[in-house]
Amino acid sequence: MGRLVMKFGGTSVANIDRIRNVARHVKREVDAGHDVAVVVSAMAGKTNELVDWCGDASPLHDAREYDAVVASGEQVTSGLLAIVLQGMGIQARSWQGWQIPIRTSDAHASARILEIDGSEITTRFKDRKEVAVIAGFQGINPQTNRITTLGRGGSDTSAVAIAAAIHADRCDIYTDVDGVYTTDPRVVPKARRLDKIAFEDMLELASLGAKVLQVRSVELGMVHNVPVFVRSSFDKPEDIDPHGTPPGTLICSEEEIMESHVVTGIAFSKDEAQISLRQIEDKPGVAAAIFGPLADANINVDMIVQNVSEDGKTTDLTFTVPASDYNRARDTITSSKGKIGYARLDSATDVSKVSVIGSGMRSHAGVAAKAFKALSERNINIRAITTSEIKFSVLIDAAYTELAVRTLHTLYGLDQA
């Protein structure tokens, strides 16, 4: 007998039939004697619809009211699931973020969780064996008492944070895929599902383009050492042994993985834009003049490459930003041209970032060099490179993305046998 958090995403609760399927998954764990908290997303497509309504109501809308509107999707799902569970004879009640409460910062639409009081939920586990059905993606700011939301994918973050708060044994993330793969199986049919992956590797995969989990949820799992299990909600509930290990991927500490490969996976992102500033005067303060205004505009800069000219007087500086921020970034730099003092701005939006991730890189030399050689043999030009202890990323022309991913996946022995 243990304590579980079960999280179900939008496709898993897309309609009443799927909510009934979710309820059967929950019943299986309750019948096995577990204390269960369930975190749900809004029905598939509902959040987009609510966001569009806000935009139609007013293009320049109040972020606080935006949160009040978009948080309602999860409220509907949690109530419906509680109703279905009650109809199956299971003690259950729905909880909104403010009722628990999940206390957050006041950054509306992208709030961060500060604290969760899970005492009432755990008391009801003990006294009533009651299932807590919790609306994900939302909380409350204690200073303003306003509803807040955690950003897209925030229900993953809610689930892991709640698991930490109630000292759950595991947080199961039910989704429309049956685990974490070495890369996107739609691009590489030979991609393998991983049985286990270290938090650090998963964090890199999530931040570099893998869509399985929100980055913040992986961070919370790592900080609080909450094992996270990614599994499919479309497996038949009655076919699963609640005491066994179903198909899926366990995200855990590196110490729990007996044998790790040098490379764990390949991630990619086509949501990239490149900006190059030519012939900037090479003097102190120039980098601050470029990246300070971008930071003030809340534009995240990723890859940065600087080349100093032979005479040492000027430099070229290239960096990448999310494609969605490209126009704002270009306008921000252009408006600061007098302060920066560059001769020309070049840019490209037809680029992608391909990343190779693996904790095993720490103890193996030449991992990146093999990739550069393999890509050159495929006539794939590398525009920029960044590295860290357990990953490296290359910026390439978007047209070569799939070829590059397949080449590297095979190169590092990640294809299925």
Q: What is the number of other CB atoms lying within 10 angstroms of the CB of residue 363?
A: 7
CA 124 – CA 46 distance, rounded (Å): 31
9 annotated to a ligand binding site: yes
125 is in an annotated binding site: no
> Is 8 marked as a binding-site residue?
yes
7 is in an annotated binding site: yes
Say if residue 358 carries a ligand binding annotation: no
**Biggest alpha carbon–alpha carbon distance for the chain:** 79
Please check whether residue 330 is in contact with residue 345, taking contact to mean a CB–CB distance below 8 angstroms.
Answer: yes
- Please tell me the number of Cα atoms within 13 Å of 249 on its side-chain side: 21
Q: Give one DSSP letter per residue of 169-213, joined into a string.
A: SEEEEEESSSS-BSS-TTT-TT--B-SEEEHHHHHHHHHTT--SS
Q: How many residues does the chain have?
A: 417
Q: State yes or no: 148 annotated in a binding site.
A: no
* 3-state secondary structure at position 124: helix
Which residue, chain included where needed, has tokens 């393998």? 192
Using left for φ > 0, alpha for ψ between -120 and 50, and beta otherwise, residue 387 falls in: beta
- Residues whose CB is less than 8 angstroms from the CB of residue 212 and which lie 6 or more positions away in sequence, other chains included: 175, 177, 180, 205, 206, 230
- Residue corresponding to tokens 């998954």: 25
Q: Is 229 annotated as a binding residue?
A: no
Burial class (CB in 10 A: 0-12, 13-18, 19+), 78: buried
**Cα–Cα dist 21/80, whole Å:** 12
Q: Which two tokens stand for residue 372?
A: 């550069």
Measured in degrees and rounded to the nearest 5, phi and psi for residue 368 equal -70, -40
Tell whether 77 is in a known binding site: no
Are the CB atoms for 273 and 326 separated by under 8 Å? Answer: yes
Q: Where are the alpha helices (DSSP H) in 250-358?
A: 286-296, 326-335, 337-340
CB 145 within 8 A of CB 135: no
Closest CA to 302 of 322, 285, 284, 283: 322
Residue 187, CA distances (Å) to 144, 174, 183, 190, 193 in order: 46, 22, 8, 9, 14
Residue 211 counted as an annotated binding residue: yes
According to the annotation, is 186 in a ligand binding site?
yes
Half-sphere exposure of 200 (CA within 13 A, CB side): 17
Extract the annotated binding site for ATP: 7-10, 175-176, 181, 186, 211-212
Extract the annotated binding site: 7-10, 47, 74, 175-176, 181, 186, 211-212
Extract the annotated binding site for substrate: 47, 74
